[in-house]
Structure 1
Amino acid sequence: MKKKIYLFIWMLSIVWISGCANDTNNVDKEKVTLSISAASSLTVAIDEIKAMYEERNNIKLEINYASSGTLVNQMKQGAPVDVFVSASKEWMNQATEEGLIDKSSVVPLLYNRLVFGTNEKNEQISFEDMVTTEKAQIAIGDPESVPVGAYAKEVLQNKNLWDTWQSKLVYAKNARQVAVYVESGNVDAGFLFQSDAIAFKTINVIEVIPESLHSPIVYPAGITTQTANEEGASQFLRFLQSETAQSIFKTYGFEVR
């Protein structure tokens, strides 16, 4: 009788230990979440990188795309972010000055070009046509918060067109929206990033804007000071700099220097 009791107790112990082990495995397998705030012009490239990264790592990436200015303002208001990728040095500098980003973590991740483009149906329209056509509508990002718009404003100021083009300009809330306006034909043309012109297949590039007409288009990336997972954030930032990720970025028109 005693042997049967001991055997029963031993079996219960094995079941209890196995249950504990399974609970531990479930904890180990629980995915860690990283919050990434990225400029909207990175959408297609980072979506592809996200799928690859999540497949290779026990991590879930939550990506928030918007204009760089909007993303910085969201962080100021307490939005949870681990890694920030900006489409301009100015907005990254503001984020570091506000104590939102660890300055020592910031790296110049990518470069881009500014182009003047239109819907492919308007293939014959040139930049000069836009200058002489009074009723033309030109899409740009809002220069106050959208880097592609700030770069476009510099170009127009350098060409002495900023004041005279005010009635022609249609402001967009981010770089992707500029591309949507151009692709849809709701505007005659627009200033957009080279990467968006590639991502939107029916956009025809009229002119690649000379870099001498605007500030360098740099995409800096950095880790926030509030991250609760500095190791995970650092690992993802390193991956963005890897040959694998950089190759994806180049596919979509970004430049690595």
Structure 2
Amino acid sequence: MDRRTILNALTVGLFGTMPLARRALAQHHTMAPAAVPTDARGVLVFAAATLKPALDAIVAAYRAKEGAEVTVAYGPTPALAKQIENGAPADIFLSADPVWMDYLAERRLIRRHTRADLLGNVLIVAERGSPSANPPPVIDRDFPLATLVGAGPLCMCNPADHPAGRYGKASLEALGLWDGIAGKIAIASDPQAAVVMVAQGEAPAALVFATDVKDVTGMRIAGTFPASSHPPIVYPIALTMAAPHAEAAERLLAYLRSPEARTLFDRYGYT
């Protein structure tokens, strides 16, 4: 399978079994992966769509510093992992959770010795409005989520396979909030698509990562989920077993784990 086929195929979206009207609404606002030249050369990185703003800046800095050729293809983590399983020529996989990295590891499709936990994040509920000077409240069992969502929908990723959706449902269940909003959910292909729906006034709230609303005009954090309410949010990274540009990919991987890159990730709100 060549790069052109793979990069074109990354527009695939994954949706769950929510009501058709809400699924169609979310699909309408799907964020397509970043435009990638069909003649992409050099190291090819498959990265979770939520990482795009930060990773674009970091890769640009790396290109300027090293004069290296790097292409990043963004998409939902499950779709990216499946593409690698199907023979995509990715050199590096940067996942939004350990589950899909484990999926590839179990199939011997990543180089285990290169695997590392690169980043963390914070799970939030986002709404329209101006950011407050005060820290947002921590969501607990008494948080008025049902009131905030109203008639809905609450936009979130698919709990069946998307990291953000999986973390989100785990938190809502742990805090006893799931049953009150389960029938008001619209599935989005990625967190940015969920944010777009809220920003455009088509939904009152979205369950996403804190980095997804950072510097987004007209959006604010309504509440943050306690880390104890969900599995640790971890972004693992690794070289693929079939990496066509392994040596160059190892150099890029080392840079992504460097203090210089860490400073840039911090600037975009990662933990």
* TM-score of the pair, normalised by structure 1: 0.81
- How far did 1:121 drift? 6.6
**Distance of 1:70 and 1:207 partners within structure 2:** 29
- Asked if 2 retains the 8 angstrom alpha-carbon contact of 1:67 and 1:145, the reply is no
- Give the structure 1 partner of residue 185 of structure 2: 169
2:79 to 59, 70, 84: 70
Higher mean alpha-carbon deviation, 176-185 vs 85-94, is at 176-185
Q: Which amino acid aligns with 1:225?
A: M
Superposed structure 1 runs of 4+ greater than 6 Å apart: none
Q: Which runs of 5+ in 2 are unaligned?
A: 1-39
Pick the aligned partner of 1:50 from 48, 59, 72. Answer: 59
d(CA) in 2 for partners of 1:191, 1:178: 8
Structure 1 runs not aligned, ≥5 long: 1-30
Instruction: Look up the match of 1:108.
Output: 117
2:17 corresponds in structure 1 to none
Structure 1 partner of 2:46: 37
- Residues 50-87 of structure 1 show CA distances to partners (whole Å, capped at 9, x for unaligned) of 21111222322111111111110111121110001111
Deviation at 1:218, TM superposition (A): 0.5
Residues 77-122 of structure 1: CA distance to partner in whole angstroms, max 9, x if unpaired? 2111000111101111111112111111100101111011101179
**Structure 2 counterpart of 1:46, one-letter code:** L
CA distance in 1, matches of 2:270, 2:52: 12
Q: Please, which of 176, 196, 210 is the counterpart of residue 194 of structure 1?
A: 210
**Other structure's SS at 2:213 match:** helix
Aligned-partner residue type, residue 41 of structure 1: T
- The answer to whether the 8 Å contact 1:70/1:145 transfers is no
Q: Aligned with 2:182: secondary structure?
A: coil
Partner residue of 1:141? 157
CA contact (8 A) 1:86 1:92 kept: yes
Once the two structures are superposed, the pairs formed by residues 78-89 of structure 1 within 5 Å of their partners are 78-89=87-98
Displacement of 1:176: 1.8
Identity %: 28
Cα RMSD of the aligned pairs, angstroms, is 2.0
Deviation at 1:129, TM superposition (A): 4.1
Task: Please give the alpha-carbon distance, in whole angstroms, between the structure 2 residues aligned to 1:122 and 1:241.
Answer: 31
2:238 is paired with a residue whose SS is strand
Using a 3 Å threshold, how does the CA distance of structure 1 residues 203 and 136 change in structure 2: closer, same or farther? same
Question: Pick from 205, 212, 235: which aligns with 2:251?
Answer: 235
CA 1:137–1:122 in structure 2 vs 1: closer, same or farther (change >3 Å)? farther
Q: Give the C-alpha shift of residue 35 in structure 1.
A: 0.4
User: What secondary structure does 1:59 align onto?
Assistant: coil
The TM-score normalised by the length of structure 2 is: 0.77
CA distance in 1, matches of 2:198, 2:41: 39
Q: Using the alignment, how far apart are the partners of 1:84 and 1:122 within structure 2?
A: 33
**Counterpart-to-counterpart distance in 2, 1:232 and 1:192:** 33
Residues 1:254 and 2:270 aligned together: yes
Asked if 1:96 corresponds to 2:111, the answer is no
Q: Is the aligned partner of 1:207 residue 2:216?
A: no
Match of 1:131 in 2: 146
Residue type at the aligned position of 2:74: Y
Distance 1:222 1:173 in 2: 23
Q: Is the 8 A contact 1:32 1:59 kept in 2?
A: no
Aligned pair count reads: 223
